[in-house]
Amino acid sequence: MNVSTMQARDSHASADDIQDGPVLLSASTITGDDVYNMQDEELGRIQDVMLDIKDGNIRYVVLASGGFLGLGDRLFAVPWKALRHDKINKRFTLDVDVERLKNAPGFDKDQWPNMADATWNATVESFYTR
């Protein structure tokens, strides 16, 4: 991690953290960030960010979970709106317990789903909607 990335990581923000105006971050700034659940259990790390280029918004983050040093990871598309930023611990939280995540719609690193498919999208969105 280079110095500019570390400085950018210190400036993470979410809608709850913003006081005055918008804050912009590069996707590479949050890539690699840890994701924990509300019980303070590590769920994985952000591997990628999926942008909806039609709407100009982040649609999903790709969460890598369950592997060791990147090997054997299972990937999950987590809706951006399901994540909350934990600026104190410089990580993200997701309100899903470890056992529930094991049953989430996931995919293999070599077989990504068509994330533009409406049926797939509805399945993923409904899984993380509470």
Q: What is the pLDDT of residues 68-124, one digit of tens each?
A: 555 568 899 999 999 998 988 989 999 999 999 989 999 988 889 988 889 999 999
Please say if the pLDDT value at position 21 is more than 70: no
Distance of CA 122 to the CA centre of its chain: 17
Read off the pTM: 0.77
Burial readout 32-51 (b: 16 or more C-beta within 10 A, e: otherwise): ebebbbeeeeebbbbbebbe
Please say if the pLDDT value at position 17 is more than 60: no
- Amino acid identity, position 50: M
pLDDT value for 13: 46
Please say if the pLDDT value at position 60 is more than 60: yes
Please say if the pLDDT value at position 6 is more than 60: no
CA distance 110 to 74: 10
pLDDT value for 7: 41
What percent of the chain is modeled with pLDDT above 70?
77
pLDDT value for 72: 60
